[in-house]
Structure 1
Amino acid sequence: MKLIFKQENLLAAINTVAKAVPVRTTMSILQCILIDASGSDIHLTGNNTDLGIETVADGEIVEHGRICLEAKLFSEIIRKLSGGEDIVITSDEKLVTVIQSGPSKFRIQGRDAEEYTYVPHIERDLYVAISEFRLKEIIRQTIFALSPNDSNPLMTGEYLTVHENQLMLCALDGHRIALRKVALRDSYKDISAILPGKSLQEISRILGDDAESEVLIFFDENHAMFEFNRTVVVTRLIDGEYFNVAQMLPHDYQTRVKVNRQMFLNEIDKATILIHESDKKPVVFKISDGEMQIRLNSTYGQMNTEIGIEKNGDDLTIGFNPTFFIDALRNIDDEEVTIYLLNSKSPCFLRDDADSYIYLILPVNFGPEDY
């Protein structure tokens, strides 16, 4: 095998597939990147059996072939080459691989490509198309609500559904729900799948911001495949029946508050200065006509402020984990947000008029000492 690359092209491909290379595994071959130049293109692949990424690297094929190279070593070598000269990679029958650029030459031992576990093949019958920009956006706007531990695997994944021309993505962790809906250009067959949050995080990092470039997402019983920009990402789905989110979302409220999003976010963010991990104190909202008082009392000090609001309904005093509100407000793009509340013991929810997003947050108990 003999291949020629520009450094930036090869490094971009390595960085893409390296996201699927496991740090630790009992299958040492998976700590390699597969270089497959047996066809008309040069394909690089990383795979940890839960997530597989394959991308096309721009380069010239002088002699066809395939080889597996240890990912960390390969990446470091390519990154530290000068970049002014072409990179030439050759491998012989004994899998000895030479990487040369200008006066620099590295000789490393490769591994047989036949040992490598290929990315699963997915049929292309059931699919949906969405723009790169929109997919990246809705992942960002929901993924923060996933559970960080895997005691319940369903809470580590996002629930994706498609009905006609609407796609919904939902995440929850037992204390909050983040739900985002988007309209698609076309209508599709009904789809439901639970996508691992870790996989969506890596996909989001690869996606571009182009509103015109489409991502095709294909589904089978056990996997989803994302295809975009000469890259294919295959993730294993989480097995199980997802929570009935529709039943969890309240429809009744006694108090409705409209407030400037950025101002509200800034004031809650100030309160977190006085909160440390071991001191889980709530931020308390005292809602009355025309204003909301925001109070926090922790072992580090007190914070009191107020902001103007538009209120309909009953006065209310209620406490929340401030981080949950901050996460939701940072991922809403509207200038104003509307908050719906029932009482001090019931969850509140933030929702726009079009129902394109819903953020539900459970309140926390608090006493007079907390405000």
Structure 2
Amino acid sequence: MKITCQTADLLKGVNIVSKAVPTKTTMAILECILIDASSGEIKLTANDMEIGIETIVEGSILERGIIALDAKKFSEIVRKLPKNEVTIETDSTFKTSITCEKAKFDIIGKSGEDFSYIPNPNRNQPIIISQFTLREIISKTIFSVADNENNKMMTGELLEIRNNKLKVVALDGHRVSIRNVDLKNETNDVKVVVPKKTLNEIIKIIDGGVDDIVNIFVTENHIIFEFDQTTVVSRIIEGEYFKIEQMLSADYETKIKINKKEFFDCIDRATILVNEGQKMPIIVNTSENTMSISISSFIGSMNESIDIVKEGKDVMIGFNPKFVMDALRAIDDEEISLYMLNAKSPCFIKADDGSYIYIVLPVNFNNPGAN
């Protein structure tokens, strides 16, 4: 194999596929990036058997072939090459030369034939969405996905399409994040749970705007994202996702309109008195058109009042401040609406147009260390 390409193009491709190189594996071949120049395109591929990423690099193929190179060393070499044309050449013993200007590296690769190619299931009707919208709805919900694997379903996000509306749901047992978006193209109904890792990598890779498209295909065992010159194939999480419809239809006895930035900044100030790792709740107490936010820890205490517009009953309720701040950080609206029933029921932060719902469960503020 012999190919040439620009350092910047090669580096971009390497950075994209490196996200699918496993950090730990018993299969040495999976620690490699595959360079496939056997069929008229220069394709880079990495695969950890859960997620596979393939991208096309612009360049010239002088001699067709295929090689697998150690991902870590190959990435380091490409990253430090001069910004000029790179030549990659291999021989029959898998010895690979990487040359750019006066720099030349010789490394030993592995047979590309031994590489585990990413699955290529049959495509059905695509879900078409802009790169900007996909990145927005994932980044503004994914913080609610559980990190531990005690419940596999909580380690992914639900992507559900019904009546041409896409709903994205993430939850971890203490909070729920929901984003709703209208799709412009006619799309079949779909319900699939996608691993957090896959979605995290997707939002790192896609950098396009509202006019740049992602085609999403859902098959029996996989979800496929195609955009620009890149394909990401991931296993889905099998099983039935949590039924949240009953929670979403909950009644409320208190509705509060509040300035989002004032609310966020107040909570942020309160957390100064909480050491990292401690679980001290903020206590929200409404009276007339004022909300007081207080916190008490071993370091000290803090109390601050914010003007609000309140409908219904006064309420006193405790929250994990991080969960509330995560939700507020994901909302762009200047003014937000909170809906509460009582001190034992969840708080809803909902958009009037239904585009987002954030639900935060209360904590017992009689015991500051409780979660």
CA contact (8 A) 2:289 2:309 kept: yes
Q: AA paired with 1:92?
A: D
Structure-to-structure mapping, 1:158-237, within 5 angstroms: 158-237=157-236
Aligned residues: 369
**Alignment partner, residue 73 of structure 2:** 73
Gaps of 5+ in 1: none
Structure-to-structure mapping, 1:39-54, within 5 angstroms: 39-54=39-54
**Alignment partner, residue 246 of structure 1:** 245
Report how far residue 39 of structure 1 moved: 1.5
TM-score (norm 1): 0.97
Report how far residue 293 of structure 1 moved: 0.4
**Alignment partner, residue 141 of structure 1:** 140
Secondary structure at the aligned position of 1:188 is classed as coil
Residue deviations 1:283-334, cap 9 Å, x none? Answer: 0011111110010000111111111101000011110000010000000111
Give identity over the alignment, percent: 47
**Alignment partner, residue 291 of structure 1:** 290
**Alignment partner, residue 342 of structure 2:** 343
User: Is the alpha carbon distance of 1:211 and 1:369 closer, same or farther for their aligned partners in structure 2, counting shifts above 3 Å?
Assistant: closer
Secondary structure at the aligned position of 1:285 is classed as strand
Report how far residue 247 of structure 1 moved: 1.8
**Alignment partner, residue 273 of structure 2:** 274
Q: AA paired with 1:65?
A: G
**Alignment partner, residue 129 of structure 2:** 130
Report how far residue 127 of structure 1 moved: 2.6
* Aligned residues: CA RMSD: 1.2
Gaps of 5+ in 2: none
Distance in 2 between the 1:247 and 1:311 partners? 25
Distance in 2 between the 1:366 and 1:262 partners? 24
Residue deviations 1:235-260, cap 9 Å, x none? Answer: 10001110001122243000000001
CA contact (8 A) 1:122 1:218 kept: no
TM-score (norm 2): 0.97
Report how far residue 369 of structure 1 moved: 7.7
CA contact (8 A) 2:164 2:188 kept: no
**Alignment partner, residue 356 of structure 2:** 357
Distance in 1 between the 2:367 and 2:234 partners? 49
**Alignment partner, residue 320 of structure 2:** 321
Distance in 1 between the 2:166 and 2:318 partners? 33
Q: AA paired with 1:34?
A: L
Residue deviations 1:55-92, cap 9 Å, x none? Answer: 01111111111100000000001111122x31111001
**Alignment partner, residue 33 of structure 2:** 33
CA contact (8 A) 1:123 1:219 kept: no
CA contact (8 A) 1:224 1:234 kept: yes
Residue deviations 1:147-189, cap 9 Å, x none? Answer: 1100101000000101132001000000110010000102211
CA contact (8 A) 1:352 1:358 kept: yes
Secondary structure at the aligned position of 1:208 is classed as coil
CA contact (8 A) 2:164 2:189 kept: no
User: Is the alpha carbon distance of 1:298 and 1:227 closer, same or farther for their aligned partners in structure 2, counting shifts above 3 Å?
Assistant: same
2:7 counterpart of 1:7: yes
Distance in 1 between the 2:366 and 2:189 partners? 47
CA contact (8 A) 2:280 2:368 kept: no
Report how far residue 21 of structure 1 moved: 0.2
Report how far residue 368 of structure 1 moved: 8.7
